Chain A
Amino acid sequence: MTAGVAAAPAGTLPGVKDAPRSAGAVGQTRAGWGLLSPFLVLYLAFLIGPALYGLVMSFFDGSSVRSGLGPFAGFGNYAEALSSGDFWSSMGHTVLFTVLTTPPLVIVSMLLAMLTDRIRRGRWFFRLVFFAPYVMPVTCVGLVFVWMYTPQTGLFASALGSVGITAPNWLADPHWAMISVALMTVWWTIGFNFVLYLAGLQDIPRELYEASAVDGAGPGAQLARITIPLLSRTTLLVTMLQILASLKVFDQIYLMTAGGPNYATRPVIEYIYDVGFTDFRTGYGAAASMLYFVVILAVSAVWFAISRRRA
C-alpha cells in the first residue's frame, strides 16, 4: 500500500510519509471516493437508507392505505408484537424449521462429502447430482415436491404404501407439514454445504492418512481422530451459515403450505408479509422485522464470539 506515497509529487517533503494533506493523499481521497461512488450511491439508497427508514417506520403507526409515516406510536408496535401470540408462534415455526433442517443439512452433507472424497472415479457425477438442485428456482422444486406429496396417490404415498406403511397426509397434516417442507429443503439445499465440506476435506494433508494407515489405524479411527477433528472449522462455518439461512425461511413454506394448515407452519417472514402487505399495517410490520433482525444479529454475534475464541 505504499504505492501512493512512492508516487507522491516532487513537492512533498521527504520523510513525511502519507501526510493526509499532501497532494498525493488528496488525489487518493478523491480517487477513492470516486471509485466507490457507484456502489455507495446504490448501497445507501437501497440498503442502508431503507434499513434506517424501516427503523423509523417501526415507531409510527403507518398504513399503506395512506401516505406518510402515520401517527407516532413510540414503542407501541414493539409492545404489541412482543405480546402477540401470532408473532411468537410464527417465530416458533421459524425456529422449529431451523431445528429440523440444520442437523441433517450439516451431518448428511458431511457424510456425503466424506464418501465422495473417498472414491476414485466419478466424483463429478456425485457433485452434479447433489449440487444441481441447489441452482434450481424454489418454485420448480416446490411444484415437484407438492406433486410427490399428493396424499394417497402421490409418489411418496404409493411408495410407502407398497411396503405396507400408511403415509401421512404430508402437507395437509399439521404434524407432518413442517417435516415435509424440511425434507424438501434438505434435498434442495444440501449441495451448498456439500461443496463447502468437499473443499474442507481438500485441506487435510493426505500424509496423515497414509502415516496412520502404516501405524495400523482403521477407517473408523481415521474418521474419529483425523477427519472429523480437522473438519471442525468447516463444521462451524457450515453450521452457522445453515442456521442463518434456515432462519430466513419463507419461499418454500409460502409455496407449499402457504403457512398452513391453519397457520401451523407460518414462519416469521410470512407473518411480516401478512401484517404488512395483507393487513396494510406497515409500521407494525416494520417493528416485527426489527425484532426478527435482533434474532439474526444475536446468532451472528454468537458466531463471531465462537470464532474469536477459537482463533
Chain B
Amino acid sequence: MATATVPEAPIRTAPTAAPVDHRHRFFTALCVVVLVVFAALWLVPMLWAVDTSIRPEGEITAAPARWWTSHPTFDAYRQIWSAGRMPVWYLNSFIVALLTAVLAVVACSMAGFAVARVRFRGRRIVTGLVLAGLMIPPQVLIMPQFQEFAGLHLLNTYWALILPSVPTPIAVFVFASFFSGLPGELAESARMDGAGWFRIYSRIFLPLCKPAASAVFIFTFVWSWNNFLWPLLTMTSTDVMTIPVGLNVVQDSYGIRYAQVMASAVLGALPLFAVFLVFQRRIVEGIANTGIK
C-alpha cells in the first residue's frame, strides 16, 4: 500500500535539540566523522576514473597511481568518441531502454488495473500466475529464451532485448496496489454513465497513477540500460550492442590505453548518473515503496 503515499519523502527534520546532553552531542560529532570517512572511500573510485581519463597516456605509464597531472587533456574522450562505436551504442541503449520502459508502463498498468479493479472470472488464477513469475530469476531462462529468439530470427535485433523485459510481474503489482488504493466511486460513477472498462482505465485511472507510472518507467529504463547477461548473449554484432556489452569489447581492443578505458567507463556511466541526479527523489522513493510492502 505504500505506493499510494508516494509524496512522503525520506527527508525529515533532524531530532529536536531539546534534551541533548553532552553524550548525544559527542556521539553525533563522531557519526559525522565516520560518515565523512565512508563517503570519501566511496568517492575514490569515481574520482579516480575521472582523474585517469584526463591524464596523458604517457604520464599514466610513467606513474600509474599518481593523482596529480600537469597536463590535463580530453584527448581520450575525443578519440573514443570519434574512433569508437560509442555513439551507436548510446543510441542502441537509448532506443531499447525507452521502448522497453514505455511498453512496460502500458502493458503492466493495464494488467494492474484489471487485477485490482475489474472482477473477471479467472482473476485469482492470473494473480497466482503473475506471482509465480516473481520467483523466476531471468538467469534461469537464458537457455530456452535464447533458443526461442534464435528460432524467431530475432537475435541481434532490438526486439530480443525489449520483448522479454516488458512483462514485469513486480510492475503489475506496483500498479495493482496503487489502483486498489484509489476510491472505488471513481469507477462506479463512470460505469453509471455507461463508460466501458477500457475508457475508465485510460481516462480516469491512468492519469491518476503518475507516481506509480514514473517509478515503473524509471526503474525499467535503468534496469534495461544496465542489463548485461542477456544482451551479451543476444547482441553479438557490434552495430546493435548496448553500452554495457559494447564497453566489454572496448576493454579488449584498447588494452593498456588506460585513459581511453577510463574515459569510456565515465561516458558509459554518465547518462544514468544524470538520470539519477534528475530523478533522485523518485528513484529513492520507488525503492523504499516497492521494497517494503
Contacts and interface: CB of A to CB of B under 8 A. Distances in A.
A146 to B, nearest CB: 8
A147 B261 contact: yes
B276 interface: yes
B140 A129 contact: no
Given A2-B188, A28-B197, A195-B284, A289 B291 contact: no
B191 A6 contact: yes
Interface stretch (A78-86, A170-178, A213-221): A213-221
Contacts of B115: 36
A302 interface: no
Contacts of A206: 12, 15-16
Contacts, number: 335
Contacts of B137: 244, 248, 293, 296
Given A31-B197, A48-B133, A195 B280 contact: no
Interface string A153-180: 1110111000000000000000000000
B105 to A, nearest CB: 11
B147 to A, nearest CB: 7
B228 A251 contact: yes
Nearest to A34: B198
Given A47-B136, A250-B139, A251-B229, A195 B14 contact: no
A39 B112 CA distance: 10
A144 B259 CA distance: 11
B226 A40 contact: no
Contacts of A272: 139, 142-143
A139 B197 contact: no
B75 to A, nearest CB: 18
Interface stretch (B34-42, B79-87, B209-217): B34-42
A42 interface: yes
B222 interface: yes
Contacts of B110: 35-36, 38-39
B38 A112 contact: yes
B191 A7 contact: yes
Given A1-B119, A131-B284, A54 B141 contact: yes
Contacts of A234: 292
Interface string B269-289: 100110111001001100111
Interface in B23-40: 23-24, 27-28, 31-32, 34-35, 38-39
B119 A28 contact: yes
B25 to A, nearest CB: 10
B188 A135 contact: no
Interface in B221-237: 222, 225-226, 228-229, 232-233
Given A139-B228, A196-B288, 19 more contacts: A36-B115, A38-B107, A39-B167, A40-B111, A42-B107, A115-B34, A135-B273, A135-B275, A135-B283, A137-B226, A138-B228, A139-B268, A140-B247, A141-B269, A218-B23, A251-B228, A254-B232, A269-B139, A289-B143
Sort A-B residue pairs by CB-CB distance and give the 9 closest, nearest first.
A32-B120, A7-B191, A199-B288, A31-B197, A158-B65, A39-B111, A43-B167, A120-B14, A54-B144
Interface of B: 8, 10-12, 14-16, 18-21, 23-24, 27-28, 31-32, 34-35, 38-39, 42-46, 48-49, 52, 64-65, 106-108, 110-111, 113-115, 117-123, 126, 129-130, 132-133, 135-137, 139-148, 150, 163-164, 166-167, 169, 172, 184, 187-188, 191-192, 196-198, 201, 222, 225-226, 228-229, 232-233, 243-245, 247-248, 251, 258, 261-262, 264-266, 268-269, 272-273, 275-277, 280, 283-284, 287-289, 291-292
Interface of A: 1-4, 6-7, 18, 20, 25, 27-36, 38-40, 42-43, 45-51, 53-54, 57, 64, 112, 115-116, 118-120, 123-133, 135-141, 143-148, 150, 153-155, 157-159, 187, 192, 195-196, 198-200, 202, 206, 209-210, 213-214, 218-219, 233-234, 237, 241, 244, 248, 250-251, 254-255, 269, 272-273, 276-277, 282, 285-286, 289-290, 292-293, 296-297, 300
